[in-house]
Amino acid sequence: MWAKHQNPSLEVHCECASLQLTIFILDETGYILSSSSNPHVTTQGIVLMERYELGRLLGQGTFAKVYYGRNTRTGQGVAIKVIDKEKVLRVGLTNQIKREISIMRLVKHPNILELYEVMATKTKIYFALEYAKGGELFDKVSKGRLKEQIARKYFQQLINAVDFCHSRGVYHRDLKPENLLLDENDNLKVSDFGLSALAESKHQDGLLHTTCGTPAYVAPEVINRKGYEGDKADIWSCGVILYVLLTGHLPFHDSNLMEMYRKIGKAEFKCPNWFPPEVKRLLTRMLEPNPEYRITIAKIKENTWFKKSTNVRKSRNETKNKDSDSSDRASGSSEQKQEMNISKREAGLLKLEATKEGRKGILSIDTEVFEFTNSFHMVEVKKSNGDTLEYQKVSDYVAYSYVTFILAYVIVL
């Protein structure tokens, strides 16, 4: 699971003897973006293969850890998956790793997490992957069912990605919300091809025989261990995911695993009364226990509910702002800097407020100064009101433009 993002902070190092203060501006990953003495100073952390700086830990599993990283040449944020060679060799997963690399190089699609490159040392294997800032889709749906148009958007993107995989002879075999990530624009990215298979993996009977996947999302023919077609098994999993997105819970669930398998085998599930008729028909066809009669992706795309547009109507102000931003970028003009006022609330607390109202009201930023020693302070910066995008755009400007004020307050605290 991707770790949650932390708020940006400013670390202030104060050398009181000479009254020289240096501000280090840190981003949400903990990297030093710049300083008041050198705007281009960077963190002296671990640099991988002279190409990627490693940052905070995003998540970990049995055989690998995932870190946030940054391309030292382009500045692009990436996810670095670090695999322990010794552990992989010990359990005989070498071929699986090789297959995952081969498959991810085959499936380059807007809704599939991209593998940029693979690196290795004597003890580690490194995957440089696209960084999905939005985290797992699971985190969203675990809070409750999604709005229908949002669920449809994710489902459309999922089906498009899976369709592309199948066109390349790739079967995922472990589709579930935990393996569906979201980028900064809220677009879905299929990830984790560790259990995927290629068409060439089929036996002489033309079927796959490896039983794998997550029980609640796996197709009945996979459970029966009599061989299965990878594309049809993936379609079943997509059906379970669609049900979860629309309801917030699983169609097949039981504390007893064998009872859950029985329900899966007979497709014992109920659609809520408020489901649109087209969705009920679609789910019934996708969660068909007999793979011979299960709907194909081509037919899913012909479903009237699937084909509906997911465009969200935007307000006139949002459209105007977007057009204005596009015009500025096209003309090469720089964005106007947000003017902000600073006020002292109480000991250690400062408040920065924009002088003009933004898209979601007045942008307001709270700062709190922590004194660790007489010569070391840290200033934490958090957005308390206003639009997140506007906050991100002005965060660096706020740090630089008001460094004098912040330092002044630090001195007198």
Instruction: Quote the DSSP letter at residue 311.
Output: P
CA distance 61 to 77: 21
With CA atoms as reference, report the closest residue to 233 among 178, 276, 275, 195: 195
> What tokens appear for 252 in the block?
């097949």
With CA atoms as reference, report the closest residue to 221 among 208, 202, 204, 240: 208
DSSP string, 314-333: PPHHHHHHHHHHHHHHHHTP
Sheet strands side by side (includes 52-60)? 47-48, 52-60, 64-71, 77-84, 124-130, 115-120
Catalytic residue (choose from 174, 192, 231, 234)? 174
Please check if 81 is assigned to a binding site: yes
> Quick check: is 174 catalytic?
yes
Instruction: Quote the DSSP letter at residue 245.
Output: H
Q: Which residues of 122-157 are buried (b: 16+ CB within 10 A; e: fewer)?
A: eeebbbbbbbbbbbbbebbbeeebbebebbbbbbbb
List the binding residues for ATP.
Answer: 81
Q: Which residues are catalytic?
A: 174
List the binding residues.
Answer: 81
